Amino acid sequence: MEILVTAGPTWAKIDKVRILTNRFTGRTGLYLAKSLSKKGHQVTLLINPHRVETVGDLKTLYFHYFSEFKKKVTDVLKNHKFNAIVHMAAVSDYLPKIEKETKIPSGKKDFNISLAPAPKIIKTIRKLAKNSTLIQFKLELEKKGIIDKAYRSLEENGSDYVVANALEELKSGYKATLIDSRKNKTKISSKGSLVKQINNILTQ
C-alpha cells in the first residue's frame, strides 16, 4: 500500500532567528515509517529533520516551519493518491499574528507575542484525501477523559482512526489507545505494538 506519514514539530516563526515550537522530535513517526517500509509498504515521509537520525532509503520530504508543512502536505496530496495517511506531525495550534522580518533587539524590558489559532491542517488533509484511510494522533496531558476527547477529535476531523496518548504515561515508555470510528478501543503498549496495529489496519 502507498502511505504518507507526517512527523515532527512545525515551527512558528517569531522573527529571523526566533521560533515557537514544542518538545516532540518526530522519532516515533520515523520509526513507524521505517517499520512499515520494511513490511513492504511504499512509504512517503514528511518530517521536520531537526532532531532525527538518518532516514535511510525512505522517500522523504522535509519541512521546518508551519507554512512549509502546510504547502508540502497540500502539494503532495494534490499530486498523489495514498491508500492511507498516518498524521503524526505535532502541528502548531497557534501562530504569531506578526512575523518580524528582522531580529527583534535583545534587552527589551517587555517582549509580548500575540498569537492566533493556526489553520487545522488535518481538515485540509481530509478534504484532499477523501478516499484515504486517515489515522490521526491526539495528545493530552492526562489519561483521564482522553478517550472521549480523542473520539470527539476523530468525529470533528472525519478521521477513520485516532491514536490517543497521555503525556503522563509516555514517561515510562510508549503507551496509547487506538480508537476507531465506532469507538472500539485497542491498547498499545510499545512502539512495536503501534506498528503492528497500524499494519493490521492497512492490510485488513
d(CA 28, CA 111): 34
Cell (9 digits) for 84: 492511507
- The helix/strand count (H/E) of the chain reads as 6, 12
pLDDT tens-place string over residues 42-80: 999 999 998 887 787 899 999 999 999 999 999 999 999
Are 49 and 132 spatial neighbours (Cβ–Cβ below 8 Å)? Answer: no
Residue-range domain boundaries for the chain: 2-100+113-203
Of 139, 187, 178, 135, the closest CA to residue 158 belongs to 135
Are 33 and 5 spatial neighbours (Cβ–Cβ below 8 Å)? Answer: yes
The mean pLDDT of 170-183, rounded to a whole number, is 92
Q: In terms of pTM, does the model score above 0.85?
A: yes
For the chain, give the percent of residues with pLDDT over 70.
100
Question: At 93, which amino acid appears?
Answer: D
Question: At 10, which amino acid appears?
Answer: T
| Domain 2-100+113-203 belongs in CATH node 3.40.50.1820 | no
